[in-house]
Structure 1
Amino acid sequence: MLKKKFKKKYKNIFNNNEQDQIVSYIRRTEFRQYDQIYNDQQYLLGYFSKDKGRYEDYKNSVLVNFADKNVGGLSFDPVNIAQEEVLILTHPEAVISMLFMQTMDENEAILIQNIMMDTDRHLDEKMKIIVNQFSKIQKLQKSYLSNISQLISLCYKNWQMQFDQVYINRELTKSYVAFSLELNYTNNENISTGKWGCGIFNGDVQLKILILLPAFLMAQQDWQQKHEQNKMLDFKNKTERILIFSSFHNNQFDDLIYSYEKCLNEKRLKILQNNNLRD
């Protein structure tokens, strides 16, 4: 009976779709400069959401991983390890990428598709290793395929540097590259992120939010226009793609995301009312 349940659950995870079982690595290089991407055009107000937990626990989403220029970051560094490397280590198939993937340039991002999370252990919010005492059935219930996108996070030893327009433009450009890659090579998954680059990289949380939002909206608008022109999607019936911020149970960060979400919703409502439109 247990064997029968195990087989049924395994079959449901992989859907017998061979394409969904292939681990793939996709690199995107953007040759346009900041002012060519953000060319003063107006972009639509989009949706974003928040989640109190860890972003790797949010199913059916693409996980954004700000890390070292080396794909996999500093996963095998004997001294330092951050949440960025933890994400790679909890997805063993992603670690393999370090064997053959070249380092990323400033204008590049890499998407790792169809990798399985290790359910034998996890790390809590204090970076403590927790061994999970799961049965085989429980492991399968908690198993699902993930997509992880990698982009370079710059360490701001001088905290004020990140507010310089040159560095803001850099962050906007690289975030756009990653979001464009995710939107073009995944179907219906939402984009899940957190306060990446704000720990050992010394990034400012509010600034990161204000960079990620317009970068995602610009990438989403370009993605929609591309498919509308090619008539590849019926946008009347399309699934809305949204950006999800995970707070890792940090109440201060959760409140900050809520305030931006509330502000954006109020602005959207005002625009709709002024133009006699419905959301």
Structure 2
Amino acid sequence: MLQVDFACSMVGGGVLGNGLVQEEILFLMNPELIVARLFTEKLTDNECLKITGAQQYSEYVGYSRDFKWKGPHSEKLPRDGWERLHRKIVAIDALNFKNPKEQYQKHKIRRELNKAFIGFKEEGKPDKLPAIATGNWGCGAFHGDSILKALIQMMAAAVAQRDLVFFTFGDRHLEDAVWDIYTHLRDGKKTVGQIYDFLAAYCHQVAYGEKTDLRRSLKCAL
């Protein structure tokens, strides 16, 4: 799979400081990733960082304040012709919405769509490309709407012609919501263009104080 690093624009985030969320934990478990900080400048809106072959050295449990080192990791992944491990990671940075309402703006959605697409796009036959392993990208500390971010990633994966594996980490409400949206769009044969037009209209509603539940609005409109 292609693992998504929920990155800061300066890759690695607080890995050498006090950070202990998804990106920092990923870099701690795969410490070779830290070297990327030496030669990777701040990511712009049309950039991502793709890393192949990083080795995982440790196991862990928990998250943030509950994080604990569990023990050494036994690496069993095969290697390619260059002797690189079959592990691919892509760092894409989401926008930090200090005011969560700002994410319901058309140009902000377009930026997140472009960023996800850049990270997901890869040369090769679609049926030969690994699936994308992702989850609540840009949520949590960056205040992203988990339903909106899931929808954006589904749209980007569809255009990039990649399978998407969405991890909810035990959040049953999110699992049900994402599956409900996906099956509704799939069964209705909705296009990415139609979904984008819906989001543009939804942003217009939010701008005029008419914000409604995104999932319900989508199912009514499409």
Name the residue aligned to 1:98: 37
Could you say if the C-alpha distance between residues 88 and 267 of structure 1 is closer, same or farther in structure 2, counting changes exceeding 3 Å?
same
Aligned AA (2:171)? N
CA distance in 2, matches of 1:147, 1:115: 8
CA distance in 2, matches of 1:265, 1:216: 14
The number of aligned residues is: 181
Gapped regions of structure 1 (runs ≥ 5): 1-60, 221-240, 270-279
Name the residue aligned to 1:114: 53
Secondary structure of the residue aligned to 2:54 is strand
Is the contact made by 1:67 and 1:153 (CA closer than 8 Å) also made in structure 2?
A: yes
Residues 200-256 of structure 1: per-residue CA shift (max 9 Å, x gap): 011000110121111121222xxxxxxxxxxxxxxxxxxxx4111011122222212
Secondary structure of the residue aligned to 2:142 is coil
Asked whether 1:157 is paired with 2:98, we answer yes
Gapped regions of structure 2 (runs ≥ 5): 79-84, 191-222
Name the residue aligned to 1:66: 6
Q: 1:200 aligns with which of 141, 151, 157?
A: 141
CA distance in 1, matches of 2:96, 2:40: 22
Asked whether 1:260 is paired with 2:199, we answer no
Secondary structure of the residue aligned to 2:14 is coil
Asked whether 1:173 is paired with 2:114, we answer yes
C-alpha displacement at 1:260, in angstroms? 2.1
CA distance in 2, matches of 1:185, 1:112: 17
CA distance in 1, matches of 2:187, 2:106: 28
Could you say if the C-alpha distance between residues 250 and 175 of structure 1 is closer, same or farther in structure 2, counting changes exceeding 3 Å?
same
CA distance in 2, matches of 1:92, 1:152: 19
Aligned AA (2:26)? L
Could you say if the C-alpha distance between residues 173 and 71 of structure 1 is closer, same or farther in structure 2, counting changes exceeding 3 Å?
same
- Answer 1 or 2: higher relative contact order, Cα 8 Å, separation at least 6: 1
Name the residue aligned to 2:172: 251
Q: Report which stretch shifted further, 167-176 or 144-153.
A: 144-153
CA distance in 2, matches of 1:112, 1:263: 34
Is the contact made by 2:47 and 2:115 (CA closer than 8 Å) also made in structure 1?
A: yes
TM-score normalised over the length of structure 2: 0.73
Question: What is the CA RMSD across the aligned residues, in angstroms?
Answer: 2.4
Aligned AA (1:158)? N
Is the contact made by 2:77 and 2:86 (CA closer than 8 Å) also made in structure 1?
A: no
The runs of at least 4 consecutive aligned structure 1 residues that moved more than 6 Å come to none
Is the contact made by 1:117 and 1:146 (CA closer than 8 Å) also made in structure 2?
A: no
TM-score normalised over the length of structure 1: 0.59
Could you say if the C-alpha distance between residues 95 and 123 of structure 1 is closer, same or farther in structure 2, counting changes exceeding 3 Å?
farther
C-alpha displacement at 1:133, in angstroms? 7.0
Could you say if the C-alpha distance between residues 132 and 244 of structure 1 is closer, same or farther in structure 2, counting changes exceeding 3 Å?
same
Aligned AA (2:62)? D
Larger radius of gyration: 1
C-alpha displacement at 1:101, in angstroms? 1.7
Is the contact made by 2:55 and 2:75 (CA closer than 8 Å) also made in structure 1?
A: no
Name the residue aligned to 2:212: none
